[in-house]
Structure 1
Amino acid sequence: MTSTPPPGELSSGRPILFRNATVLTMDPALGVLDGGDVLVRGQRIEHVGTGLDAPQDAVVVDATGGILLPGMIDTHRHMWQTALRGFGADWTLTQYFVFYYLNWGKIFRPEDIYAGNLTSAIESLDAGVTTTVDWSHGLRTPEHGDAAVEALRAVPGRFVLAYGNLLGAPWEWANAPEFRAFVDRHFSSPDDRLRLQLAFDVTGEATFPEKGAFEAARELNLPVTTHAGVWGATGDDSIRLMWEHGFMTSDVTYVHACSLSEDSYQRIAATGGSVSLATESEQSAGQGYPPSWRLRRYGIPVSISMDTSVWWSADLFSAMRATLSADRSREHLEAQAQQETVVHNSLRAEHVVEWATMGGARALGLDTELGSLTPGKKADLVLIKNDRSPAMFPIVNPYGHVVYQAGRGDVHTVLVDGRAVKYRHELIGCDLAKARTAVTATVEYARGRIGDDWQGCMSPEIPETEVIANPYTYTDYQGAGVAVHRGDQPQAG
């Protein structure tokens, strides 16, 4: 029986050998290994196989009864909003817009961005998400951006800061000298653990003011991530304008992509873009039906995301489960409408695990480094193992087990760059007490600013509504319309 190494041993720089796991390599050449071993040396995966010899100085982790897979990758999470975790559990997307875009997004200070990001970054690692895209649209000033960076660098994970400002015009802030100084300050040299993108939406205004933001991204050599196909907010006109101006490229991530026409999906497919599915969000908020069934039809690459903890869970186990279930529900509904019966599921558990690992790596252009347990790649990996859980045995269908049986509480060990950041269900190198203190201060501050409207914002009554054409405050574009309450009081959300 292999002895249990102390946590410090896994961070000592010695090789680490995971012994006797069910290994989901996500590498077609290697497949699934029963009783498999993975040897990590330094920041890299050195060997994957069975019966590997342990180097004399190796730390051996007994992975018997566990599933070893690549670190999961979340391609769209509004991390700053974790500071109000669960506040909007009963919101619609309309009420989310009212709360953040029209009424209260402006109250969040740099220290509140820090609190949300720090907490979200820690919980990402805790749930086996080793790379997270921080869709950080609360950065009203570069100081807010500084706070976001500080929080992400305080946690030993891998992150992409997708810089955005929901209250500012992207063609303005992306070209402001203050933003360029921010980029120089934090991203003047390559950082494998923290990368930068631009995050902004395209309203569909005929003059295409967002052109200036795309040009800034091109000048800075930065990928773009954008909420596309969001019912009543961003639609086919947004995609058409990007297409006509030559800004649909392979490094663009389209978040949600629910409410789009065939032409728009064809354009995404033709230009090599990818879609970040946030199925819990799409099912509940109203962006449109989760589009995995459409994306498969057009061969569009897919990754998975959680969107925001102000509403939903913050782990990719939930995302995989919701995505697989939503896709199958749609297949059954479509077939039954034609008086037919589905007898084979097109989307399998293996596919959504792939989307949560290699899919995310491809979306970020990191598939040569991350996303599979392939020798030579970065040692970002997750061991799911919980000897105290009756749901963790037997492991008969490992992909199905990850999707439908396992959860964040079963994450035993997490490595990032070969360094243990969680072991035996305990985080390593993460200051949870500091995050708790920071978030508590933010909640107290926000509650004080919102005042008597706090409960009404959290649990809005069904209001009388009028249609406003645009939730974005930085343009007068009049689109298809979003029904929101726009009275003097923000009780709608």
Structure 2
Amino acid sequence: MDNTADVTEPAPGAGPADTAPAPSTAAGPAGREVRATSRRHVLAGAAAVGAAIGAGALATSPAAAAAKASGTAPTSFTAGRPVLFRGATVITMDPRRGVLPDTDVLVRGTTIESVGKRLPTPPHATVIDAAGALLLPGFVDTHRHMWQSALRGVGAEWTLGNYFQWIIQKWGYLFRPEDIYAANYMSKVEAVNDGVTTVTDWSHGARTPDHADAAVDALFAVPGRARFAYGNAFAPDFGWVVDGRVDRMLKKRFNGRADQLITMQLALDINGDTDDARRALKFARDRDLPVTTHAGLFGIVGDDQIKLLKETGSLSPSYTLVHASSLGDDAYRIIADSGAQMSVSAESELNAGQGYPATAKARQYGIPISLSMDTVVWWSGDMFSAMRATLNADRGLAHLRSQEAGKAVADNALRTHDALEYATLGGARALGLDRLIGSITPGKRADLVMLRTDAPAMTPISNPVAHVVFQAGRGDVDTVLVDGRVLKHRGILVDVDLPRARRLVEESLQYLRSKIPDQDWEQALNPPAGTTTP
């Protein structure tokens, strides 16, 4: 049996008779042939699968090949029609359910209706043959500067100082609202494609109301779930928070419902105890607006920032501290007592120098953890990489400290299950959405990711959770649902306009390059190499 998704319409057992209908064909979700067939017909075709696996998919029609080349795909997923995943290994991230082999998941409307063995097939359901595949909750990224996507990879050699030099002090002022739109549009398409079903747009490039509107327009234009974190790194103070523009945005674009696909919070970098900072924090508390802050940045903000947030009564479970990696024990105790969240960006912290990833400290004090990617100017937008970097950093430090003391670590403390939880349920919790998403639990919204398992690195699977964390990658993301809507299937985006995203962001890069002197561009790509110190 092929372990990639196969769509059957109508589903076996959906008709009035017990016998399977004769095979017929129709346009499929990726432009491929979709067969209405019995289990016997699928098994009979298994011999032909081997040749197709080398190409990473079942044999497809010429239309499907053309669709995959262009990055678009027609779809036969009809709105309102139930979707049934049949026979998956379901990594629920629900502590009561765990990992369920050979299990079905039924999605009806926006919701996960049932999880169980051999579920009955509702009439007119679309059945995805998930035998052998891994089905897990969608990833939740709690901190990504989506507005910088046009400059993808430019800062691969940067430190945090280089980032401030080029992005904040120089190039950020060049971005027009249309550049913000293009970057956010592409960044959200990338997130959906990679199985990140909820992405936090840490939008501190929103230096004017037009820039903010453009960022939000792009988030709404691409299907999927997102959190708009309204920020402004280019303002001299926090006057922009209280001058009416945030209230206008709330009234104009956000209805206040937690189940809206695009929700809002504030992104406030509190770098000192000032009257306007206190006013901005009070503004957020008065409106019950969640807040996210870059915290614990080595040499920039430290324990005093945490003390101010405590003094003003700002810390709470709806407050997320990004990085929080250069703090003292008293600061971590304050965070833990408040119930505030931490967003760890291990790729960022290890490469840029904000401080060492603080997962060990967070676990020591019981601080909830989520994961994030920061910015593709430097690193990837890959949540698989985020999980690996988090584990590598935490375990590496534990081994180093033990070896410095002349000892060896007997057992690793941080586990792969922890990393996957941070990337799913932990992210949902940080955004206050854990009652809606983050686990495969009946009654929750259907934000799901299915990983195909026919690639060499995905074969065989003995430990599903560990396999997701250490073996899988973005290329294994076969199917993505957000709020019950199929946005990717058989590796091809559905109703998501990748060609438009590419065109917009390439045009934006062309414009930005026209404004950046060649000498600056070359210096940014190739900053002076540092010296290695012990």
Give TM-score scaled by structure 1 length.
0.91
Q: For residue 215 of structure 1, give the secondary structure of its aligned residue in structure 2.
A: helix
What corresponds to 2:365 in structure 1? 298
Pairwise CA distance, 1:170: 5.0
> Which amino acid in structure 2 is aligned with residue 330 of structure 1?
L
Pairwise CA distance, 1:56: 2.7
What corresponds to 1:398 in structure 2? 464
Question: Does structure 2 conserve the Cα–Cα contact (< 8 Å) formed by 1:65 and 1:393?
Answer: no
What corresponds to 1:326 in structure 2? 393
What corresponds to 1:200 in structure 2? 268
> Which amino acid in structure 2 is aligned with residue 443 of structure 1?
L
Pairwise CA distance, 1:237: 0.9
Give the distance between the partners of 1:11 and 1:457, measured in 2 at CA.
48
Give the distance between the partners of 1:3 and 1:446, measured in 2 at CA.
43
Are 1:247 and 2:314 counterparts?
A: yes
Aligned with residue 146 of structure 1, among 200, 206, 213: 213
Give the distance between the partners of 1:179 and 1:56, measured in 2 at CA.
46
| 1:153-185: CA deviation from partner (whole Å, max 9, x where unpaired) | 111100000000111145201001233323322
> Which amino acid in structure 2 is aligned with residue 262 of structure 1?
D
Are 1:164 and 2:231 counterparts?
A: yes
Give the distance between the partners of 1:120 and 1:386, measured in 2 at CA.
26
Give the distance between the partners of 1:302 and 1:346, measured in 2 at CA.
15
What corresponds to 2:428 in structure 1? 361
Give the distance between the partners of 1:93 and 1:218, measured in 2 at CA.
30
Report matched runs for 1:48-447 at 5 Å: 48-188=115-255, 190=257, 192-205=260-273, 207=274, 209-387=276-454, 389-447=455-513
Report matched runs for 1:447-486 at 5 Å: 447-452=513-518, 453-461=520-528
Give TM-score scaled by structure 2 length.
0.84
Identity %, equivalent residues: 53
Q: For residue 169 of structure 2, give the secondary structure of its aligned residue in structure 1.
A: helix
Unaligned stretches of 5+ residues in structure 2: 9-27, 30-74
What corresponds to 1:44 in structure 2? 111
Give the distance between the partners of 2:345 and 2:473, measured in 1 at CA.
17
Give the distance between the partners of 2:195 and 2:437, measured in 1 at CA.
14
Question: Does structure 1 conserve the Cα–Cα contact (< 8 Å) formed by 2:6 and 2:130?
Answer: no
Bigger CA radius of gyration: 2
Moved segments of 4+, more than 6 Å: none
> Which amino acid in structure 1 is aligned with residue 337 of structure 2?
A
Q: For residue 88 of structure 2, give the secondary structure of its aligned residue in structure 1.
A: strand
Give the distance between the partners of 1:280 and 1:185, measured in 2 at CA.
36
| 1:340-391: CA deviation from partner (whole Å, max 9, x where unpaired) | 110101111111101111101111111111000000000110001143x111
Give the distance between the partners of 1:162 and 1:290, measured in 2 at CA.
22
What corresponds to 1:467 in structure 2? none
Give the distance between the partners of 2:110 and 2:465, measured in 1 at CA.
26
Q: For residue 10 of structure 1, give the secondary structure of its aligned residue in structure 2.
A: coil
| 1:419-477: CA deviation from partner (whole Å, max 9, x where unpaired) | 1000000001111111111111111111111122211122222599xxxxxxxxxxxxx
Give the distance between the partners of 2:207 and 2:112, measured in 1 at CA.
40
| 1:116-165: CA deviation from partner (whole Å, max 9, x where unpaired) | 10000000011101001100000010100110111111111000000001
Give the distance between the partners of 2:487 and 2:208, measured in 1 at CA.
31
Give the distance between the partners of 1:37 and 1:79, measured in 2 at CA.
35
> Which amino acid in structure 2 is aligned with residue 201 of structure 1?
D
> Which amino acid in structure 1 is aligned with residue 178 of structure 2?
E
Unaligned stretches of 5+ residues in structure 1: 465-493
Say how many residue pairs are matched. Answer: 462
